[in-house]
Structure 1
């Protein structure tokens, strides 16, 4: 199954209204990153054990580990969770930046170092979320 098919299947499997919000977010990010690489992670490790929620990834960046090894990974991620949706903005060095910059204007959301979690799109200001995503997209690739 192609990545695009996996993403469509994942979104279709979500209950309403989360499905509609996930479709809207998917379209929004694709518009912001029309040439970005698409990823789908099923949340399972190499042994097939579930270790995280499945996630959709957009774009590409290189992660460098302390031991010097590198790995390609997505820049922006979207994942359904038990209470709503998480948007991951990776590659931000300052773990307080998202909350300090977008927290007051975002609406009903919990913001950690690189994650914006909310129950539904109607609970947040989508333009503010777009600005946070744009910031993540514009970060250097490494």
Structure 2
């Protein structure tokens, strides 16, 4: 199954209102990053064991590790979880930036070094979320 169908099926499998929120986020991110590389990670490791919630990724960046190795990974990710939805803004060097810049004005969300977690889109200021994602995309675009 191709990544577009995996994403479509994953979103369709979510209960409401999470399904509508995940679809709205998907559309927003594709509007920000038209033609970007799409990722679907099913949450399983190499042995097939579930190690995380499935997530959808958008864009591509090269991550560098301390041992000198590199790998491609997404710039923005979304994941449905039991508490709501997480948006991952990957590759921001300053781990305090998101919380300091967006934490107080985004609404009912938890903001960490790379993750913005909220129950539903109606609980947050979507324009602030878009601003945070744009910042992350700018920081990781080659």
Contact 1:62/1:141 (<8 A) preserved: no
Runs of 4+ in 1 over 4 A off after TM superposition: none
Cα distance, 1:104 vs. partner? 1.2
For 1:132 and 1:108, locate their aligned partners in 2 and report how far apart those are by CA, in whole Å: 15
For 1:43 and 1:134, locate their aligned partners in 2 and report how far apart those are by CA, in whole Å: 25
Contact 1:62/1:73 (<8 A) preserved: yes
Cα distance, 1:141 vs. partner? 4.1
Q: Which stretches in structure 1 are left out of the alignment for 5+ residues?
A: none
Q: Which stretches in structure 2 are left out of the alignment for 5+ residues?
A: none
Residue equivalent to 1:105:
105
Contact 2:75/2:90 (<8 A) preserved: yes
**RMSD over equivalenced CA pairs, Å:** 0.9
TM-score (norm 2): 0.98
Residue equivalent to 2:139:
139
SS in 2 for 1:77: strand
TM-score (norm 1): 0.98
Counterpart check, 1:22 vs 2:22: yes
Deviation per CA, 1:12-58: give whole Å up to 9, x if none. 00000000000000000000000211000000000000010000000
For 1:104 and 1:112, locate their aligned partners in 2 and report how far apart those are by CA, in whole Å: 12
For 2:107 and 2:60, locate their aligned partners in 1 and report how far apart those are by CA, in whole Å: 28
For 2:47 and 2:91, locate their aligned partners in 1 and report how far apart those are by CA, in whole Å: 27
